[in-house]
Amino acid sequence: MSNNIESLQKEDRIFSPSPEFSATAHIKSMEEYETLHAQSIADPEAFWADQASSLTWQKPWDTVLDWSDAPFARWFDGGKINAAENCLDRHVAAGKGDNIAIHWVGEPGDTRDVTFSELLTDTCRFANALKARGIKPGDRVLIYMPMVPEAAVAMLACARIGAVHSVVFGGFSATSIKDRLEDSEATAIITADGGWRRGSVVPLKANVDEALESYDAVESVFVLKRCENEITMTDGRDVWWHEVTADVSEDCPPEGFDAEHPLFILYTSGSTGKPKGILHTTGGYMTGTATTFKYIFDHQPDDIYWCTADVGWITGHSYIVYGPMANGATQVMYEGAPNQPDWDRFWQIVADYKVTIFYTAPTAIRAFIKAGDHHVEKHDLSSLRLLGTVGEPINPEAWMWYHEKIGGGRCPIVDTWWQTETGGIMITPLPGATPLKPGTATRPFLGIDAAILDETGEECGPNEGGKLVIRKPWPSMLRTIYKDPERFKETYWNEYEGIYLAGDGARTDDDGYFWIVGRLDDVLNVSGHRLGTAEVESALVSHDAVAEAAVVGRPHDIKGQAVVAFVTLKEGIDHGDDLAAELRNHVGTEIGAIAKPDDIRFAQALPKTRSGKIMRRLLKEIVSGGEVKGDTTTLEDFNVVASLQKED
């Protein structure tokens, strides 16, 4: 019996880019992609060196890649670079200082436009304020901010002076802040009094204060005034952003740091246990994010780009701050929730700013579908020319909705597969070249050698499920897990010698397109058949009544595991007596009897991480023991779990 993951999903719909889109795109055809990809894989160092040379280096590198101490890579050794200079100074020097960097929209409706010149001045002033408080290259600075332009300024100011930022998502609690402070040994925090979320003020500063009750190594807390909510300031330690930047010089020359100088640590939860501090460095990360942003979002000078992620996630780091800004892009930044005041907020913003490129997560798309099309239909979305998704496999039916309702049938969708660890997008369509199929991230990006391997390390054939790996190092790869090189080796490099294990199950189809079938930890084993979660979930979501689905296994005497599906329905639909049976049959017809859920449980909501990924681990605990014992600190809303347990 094979130990590989079986794959049953079929998708025949194909959407090719329009000739008009391809005509102006950076990469115009599949032939061009295939030629470039083959060359880039034959000599990745030449490809990446060529890309790196579009950045501004204060000193050129001596070697492109040093892999002698694998898996600890060194890219562009000997080179000196400043990330902030690449995002700001060079655009101002090129005469683009008056271009808008950020069209900012606050949740309550306040707005601000910030030019590249202004962003540079703000960054220099704040960098000088950091220096004045004794912050030096290599020091760790925790950032806990709302989605305001100053969040980007804070990151860029750290980068400018070589301090290592660690951004903590503004929705995380005091405990999460404390854990990250302890692990990173940060000595400074940048925060705000509060931030707006769903009409209320998130008490950011109060959360910081609580974290600092049991961590005393922080010498400075910089506080931005955003919501004017009442806070306490501790003398000597806490300073107001507007005060420390008031009389400070706006001259702060960007020092060149070693290409391998750490740029940031970003904590990611991993499926179990303690968060991992993913460490990224400067030269390679900037090369990876700048290159992928340009080609994958086909960025052109007139584009208005909007990525709806929070800067607290890797998507915000790579595709709000470093990638777009390195390209001098004009973007929209929105502070608040997608349903504040109502479910059409995003579409209102797209119409107001004539957004051309829109990048969001499948979880958001499913929420919009659930809320109903009338919210979309109110607004003119004709400015959009390209859409993107990231974070989870997108169910083909959600893809179709996104394509038709948001993209008006005309916009290519880049379904981008990547991870906090990879730093940048790895598997993705190129919008002017790749014929799209709903549900697949399609082909590896240039310079990326992705493959699917079986248990023995052999490459899987078409439609054979296996483990997704990257066979050659790439510049924006993580360098280590902060302070835990053993865990870094163990987690990513132990399965196959010299090869990066992503932890996702996947298959390629007959066209060599990559389909992610789910996390390897979540794979089901039904009567000896190993099934990914994504396919069964997509089959459920393809039923008209279903908004969202998560499937997990529970122990079963005969089959090994039985399939349990948690299903949420679209607004206004009731499950009645027959829907469960109908859904089981629907899965049977869509992918086969083997995948038919044994139980279907209707739920109001599914447990998710704060970045919107379904936490199947918790559902597994519910179906096998009835109680959730594992770590729940990254869970968005514990009430969801509590109500699922009650129904048990």
Q: Which residues bind ligand WTA (CB under 6 A)?
A: 268, 314-315, 390-393, 415-420, 441, 502-504, 516, 519, 611
How far, in whole angstroms, is CA 490 from its chain's centroid?
23
Pairing relation of β-strands 386-390 and 413-416? Answer: parallel
Neighbouring C-alpha atoms within 13 Å toward the C-beta of 173: 8
Q: How far is the CB of 516 from ligand WTA (least distance, A)?
A: 4
Q: How far is the CB of 538 from ligand WTA (least distance, A)?
A: 11
Residue with token string 């054979």: 464
Integer CA distances (angstroms), 292 to 26, 88, 328, 343, 420, in order: 12, 18, 14, 31, 15
Q: How far is the CB of 423 from ligand WTA (least distance, A)?
A: 9
Q: Which is nearer to ligand WTA, 82 or 292 (CB)?
A: 292
- What is the number of other CB atoms lying within 10 angstroms of the CB of residue 504? 23
Q: Which is nearer to ligand WTA, 116 or 169 (CB)?
A: 169
Q: Which is nearer to ligand WTA, 86 or 289 (CB)?
A: 289
Q: Which is nearer to ligand WTA, 336 or 503 (CB)?
A: 503
d(CA 557, CA 78): 60
Pairing relation of β-strands 5-6 and 529-531? Answer: parallel
- What is the number of other CB atoms lying within 10 angstroms of the CB of residue 264? 27
Q: How far is the CB of 439 from ligand WTA (least distance, A)?
A: 9
Q: How far is the CB of 291 from ligand WTA (least distance, A)?
A: 16
Q: Which is nearer to ligand WTA, 164 or 534 (CB)?
A: 534
| 557: CB partners within 8 A, 6+ apart | none
Q: Which is nearer to ligand WTA, 252 or 426 (CB)?
A: 426
Backbone angles phi, psi at 605, to 5 degrees: -155, 160
Q: How far is the CB of 503 from ligand WTA (least distance, A)?
A: 6
Neighbouring C-alpha atoms within 13 Å toward the C-beta of 163: 30
Q: Which is nearer to ligand WTA, 130 or 430 (CB)?
A: 430
Q: How far is the CB of 611 from ligand WTA (least distance, A)?
A: 6
Pairing relation of β-strands 200-202 and 257-258? Answer: unpaired
Total residue count of the chain as it appears in this document: 648
d(CA 462, CA 345): 42
Do 585 and 245 form a contact (C-beta atoms < 8 A)? no
Q: How far is the CB of 502 from ligand WTA (least distance, A)?
A: 6
Q: Which is nearer to ligand WTA, 132 or 501 (CB)?
A: 501
Q: Which is nearer to ligand WTA, 160 or 616 (CB)?
A: 616
Q: Which is nearer to ligand WTA, 360 or 416 (CB)?
A: 416
- What is the number of other CB atoms lying within 10 angstroms of the CB of residue 337? 14
SS3 267: strand
Query: Closest residue (Cβ) to ligand WTA?
Result: 420
Q: How far is the CB of 363 from ligand WTA (least distance, A)?
A: 11
Q: How far is the CB of 137 from ligand WTA (least distance, A)?
A: 27
Longest dimension (CA), the chain: 74
Q: Which is nearer to ligand WTA, 74 or 180 (CB)?
A: 180
d(CA 535, CA 590): 10
Both tokens assigned to 612: 């919107």
Q: Which is nearer to ligand WTA, 85 or 415 (CB)?
A: 415
Do 550 and 619 form a contact (C-beta atoms < 8 A)? yes
Do 289 and 236 form a contact (C-beta atoms < 8 A)? no
Q: Which H helix or E strand runs over 398?
A: helix 396-401
Integer CA distances (angstroms), 628 to 283, 326, 561, 640, in order: 42, 44, 19, 12
Q: Which is nearer to ligand WTA, 361 or 583 (CB)?
A: 361
Q: How far is the CB of 61 from ligand WTA (least distance, A)?
A: 27
Q: How far is the CB of 487 from ligand WTA (least distance, A)?
A: 16
Backbone angles phi, psi at 228, to 5 degrees: 60, 20
Q: How far is the CB of 393 from ligand WTA (least distance, A)?
A: 4
Q: Which is nearer to ligand WTA, 170 or 503 (CB)?
A: 503
Q: How far is the CB of 42 from ligand WTA (least distance, A)?
A: 26
One-letter identity of residue 115:
T
SS3 313: coil
Do 444 and 453 form a contact (C-beta atoms < 8 A)? no
Print burial letters for 529-564: b (CB count within 10 Å at least 16), e (below 16). bbbbbbbbbbbbbbbebbbbbbbbbbeeeebebbbb
